[in-house]
Amino acid sequence: MSFLEDVVSGLSLPQKALPPKYFYDAQGSRIFERICRLPEYYLTRAEMALTRGHIGAIAAFAGSGCELIEYGSGEGLKTRLLLRALRPRLYVPVDISQAALERAAQRLAREFPGLRIAPVNGDFSRPLRILSGARRQRVVYFPGSTIGNLTPQEAHAFLAMSRAQAARMLVGVDLKKDANVLHAAYNDARGVTAAFNLNLLARINRELGGDFQLKRFSHYAFYNAPLGRIEMHLVSLADQEARVAGHRFQLRRGESIHTENSYKYAADEFRALAARAGFTGKKLWMDRRGLFALHGLT
Ligand code: SAH
Ligand code: AVI
């Protein structure tokens, strides 16, 4: 489905919704990079520290000289640590954001002369066609808890696809924790997460000729404890109509557009999800505060 088709079908649902993969145009990727540096957004720092602290064991698990495929590679902050320790024979960053992918690939090429980089601009929910070489040498790396942005069914399909491609997988997963900590991480004081959320409507205006008035929407994020996920919404501040490429959408005051889920998994919950896709949880690295987990699956 195209961006327009996804927007039209999502805004036609009883609970309006937009797929989170569309957050990441050039502007959205830049805003996400600012989120990663916010004091409230503990995820990036926790995963960086975890990776740095266990890099020897992580590299031993992945195996030096492997082919490293990274999904949702973005800026590639943690990737540097891995590349330095692993020295893979090939690095395949996959990202839907062309701008982020190109920037990161250029920077990595400068920092790691001699590293073979084969960037793929595409959607990771579809199988990759470019792979050569043996499955047993490949490692799929999926950091950042991006797996939390998939529904459990989508996560299952993604894990099963990865298992068909690679013998080992390293997945960064945000852990369940105090709802106040989660709430702060998705409602930062500077409003960067709000800008990230609103950029989705700005992108629809830019690329699809939409007429959303951004001032008439507000960012809303909360922890849905029964479902174990942060939900992000854009709430309409008035009764209003928005048009996108000739389609009209009515929004009542207080009605929301659901823009993202961010599932949080306890270590055993994630292992069970991975097991249903045929993976065995071989390694688990967690920080002492129980913020974040890195799973080594075979
Ligand atoms: N791995 C980085 C970035 C995480 S942000 C980190 O840990 O900080 C999520 C990344 O996944 C973004 O770069 C976004 O562009 C990419 N992404 C989101 N949905 C995607 C999809 N369906 N296919 C490919 N890339 C996707
Ligand atoms: C990329 N992903 C794991 C982020 C998350 O935490 O779910 C996206 C994000 N949304 C709001 N802040 C960050």
Could you tell me the distance, in angstroms and rounded to a whole number, from the CA of residue 64 to the centre of ligand 1? 25
Whole-number mean pLDDT of the chain? 97
Provide the β-strand partners of residue 194: none
Indicate whether 130 pLDDT > 90.
no
Hey, CA dihedral for 11, 16, 18, 23, is it positive or negative?
positive
- Residues with CB under 6 Å of ligand 2 are 35, 43, 144-146, 148-149, 186, 193, 196, 260, 262
Ligand 1 touching residue 268 (CB < 6 A): no
Q: Residue 187: which pLDDT band, with cuts at 50, 70 and 90?
A: very high
Calculate helix-pair angle for 98-111, 26-35, nearest 10 degrees: 60
The pLDDT, as a whole number, for residue 64 is: 86
The pLDDT, as a whole number, for residue 111 is: 97
Distance CA 187, CA 41 (A): 9
The pLDDT, as a whole number, for residue 184 is: 98
Q: For 14-51, what is each residue's pLDDT tens digit?
A: 999 999 999 999 999 999 999 999 999 999 999 999 99
Under 8 Å between Cβ of 84 and 59? no
Q: For 237-280, what is each residue's pLDDT tens digit?
A: 999 999 999 999 999 999 999 999 999 999 999 999 999 999 99
Ligand 1 touching residue 43 (CB < 6 A): no
Q: Residue 288: which pLDDT band, with cuts at 50, 70 and 90?
A: very high
The pLDDT, as a whole number, for residue 40 is: 98
Could you tell me the distance, in angstroms and rounded to a whole number, from the CA of residue 20 to the centre of ligand 1? 10
Residue that is written with structure tokens 């009883």 in the block: 14
Could you tell me the distance, in angstroms and rounded to a whole number, from the CA of residue 170 to the centre of ligand 2? 18
Residue 84 backbone phi and psi in degrees, to 5: -65, -40
Q: Residue 134: which pLDDT band, with cuts at 50, 70 and 90?
A: confident
The pLDDT, as a whole number, for residue 131 is: 66
